[in-house]
Amino acid sequence: MHGVFLNITRNSDGDYQAMTNDRMFEYQRLAQEVYHAGLSARLARLGYALEPGMYGEPQLKGITREQIEYFSGRAAQIEDFLQKKWGINRKTATPEQKQAAWEMTRKAKKARDLDGLQARWREEAREIGLNEVFPGKKVNDLSPEKRLDIARDSLKFAIEHHTERESAVKEGELIRTALQDGRGKITIGDIYKVMKEVTSSGELIRQVDDLAGSRQNLVTSREALEREKRILSFEKSGRNKVEPVMNPLQAENTLNAIQEREGLTLNAEQRAAARMILTTDNRYSGINGYAGTGKTTMLKPAIESLQNGAAFSALTNAGYRVIGLGPQHSAVHALKDAGIIESRTLQSWLADRRAGKDLTGKTVVVIDEAGLTSARDLESAMKRIEKAGARAILVGDSKQYESVAAGPAFAMLQKAGMETVYVTEMQRQRNAPEHIREAARLSIDSPEKALEKLSIREIRDPQERFKALSEEYLKSQDPKETLVLTGTHEARKSVNENVREALNLKGKGREFIRFETGDFTEAQKKRINSYEPGQEILFGKAYRLMGVKVGEVGKVASVDKEDGTVRLKMEDGRNVTMTPRKLSGKDHEIGQRETIELSLGDRIRITGNSLRLDGVTNGMRGEVVDVSGSRIMIRFDSGLEYGILVGKTPLEIDHGYAQTGHSAQGLGAQTVILDLPSNSQTLNRRSFYTNLTRTKNQVKAFTDDREKLAGAVKREKDKTMAHDVEKAQAVERKPWEKARKIEPELEI
Q: Give the chain's mean pLDDT.
A: 89
239-423 architecture in CATH? 3-Layer(aba) Sandwich (3.40)
The rounded Cα 522 to chain-centroid distance in angstroms is 14
Residue 491 vs residues 14, 510, 603, 680: alpha-carbon distances, Å: 57, 23, 17, 11
Distance CA 366, CA 391 (A): 9
Q: In the predicted model, what is the mean pLDDT of residues 374-393?
A: 96
pLDDT surpasses 70 at 532: yes
Mean pLDDT of 212-225: 91
Please check whether residue 697 is in contact with residue 724, taking contact to mean a CB–CB distance below 8 angstroms: no
- Percent of the chain scoring above 70 in pLDDT: 93
Smallest Cα–Cα separation from 22: which of 534, 744, 747, 738? 738
pLDDT surpassing 70 at residue 740:
no
Who's near 359: CB < 8 A, 6+ residues apart?
323, 365, 384, 385, 387, 388, 390
User: How confident is the model over 447-482, as pLDDT tens digits?
Assistant: 999 999 999 999 999 999 999 999 999 999 899 999
**Helix, strand, or coil (residue 284):** strand
Of 169-178, 314-323, 580-589, give the lowest mean pLDDT range.
Answer: 314-323
Over 90: is that where the pLDDT of 739 sits? Answer: no
In this predicted structure, the answer to whether residue 92 has a pLDDT above a threshold of 80 is no
Q: What is the pLDDT of residue 9?
A: 84
Q: 4-8, 427-431, 546-550, 708-712 — which is least confidently predicted?
A: 4-8
What does the pLDDT read at residue 1? 55
pLDDT-derived band at 279, boundaries 50, 70, 90: very high
CATH classification code of 511-597: 2.30.30.30
Q: 436-509+599-729 has which CATH code?
A: 3.40.50.300
Mean pLDDT of 354-378: 94
pLDDT at 115 over 50: yes
CA distances from 377 to 224, 327, 399, 748 (A): 12, 9, 20, 61
| pLDDT score, position 133 | 63
Across 174-178, 474-478, 603-607, 736-740, least confident range: 736-740
pLDDT at position 79 over 90: no
Residue 507 has pLDDT above 70, yes or no: yes
Name the band, by pLDDT with cuts 50, 70 and 90, for residue 318: low
* Domain parsing of the chain, residue ranges: 67-104, 144-226, 239-423, 436-509+599-729, 511-597
Residue 744 has pLDDT above 80, yes or no: no
- What is the average per-residue pLDDT within 123-128? 76
- Which of the listed CATH numbers 1.10.10.10, 1.50.10.20, 1.20.140.10, 3.30.930.10 matches domain 144-226? 1.10.10.10
Contact indicator for 325, 346 with CB cutoff of 8 Å: yes
Q: What mean pLDDT do residues 321-335 have?
A: 91
What distance in Å separates the CA atoms of residue 410 and residue 235, rounded to the nearest whole number?
Answer: 11
**Helix, strand, or coil (residue 5):** coil
- Is the pLDDT at 110 greater than 70, yes or no? no
The pTM assigned to this predicted structure is 0.86
Question: 3-class DSSP state for residue 483?
Answer: strand
Q: Are strands 536-539 and 168-170 parallel, antiparallel or unpaired?
A: unpaired
CB distance 661 to 692 below 8 Å: no
Residue-level pLDDT at 738: 36
Domains 144-226 and 511-597 share a fold: no
Backbone angles phi, psi at 265, to 5 degrees: -130, 110
Chain-centre distance of CA 261, in angstroms?
Answer: 43
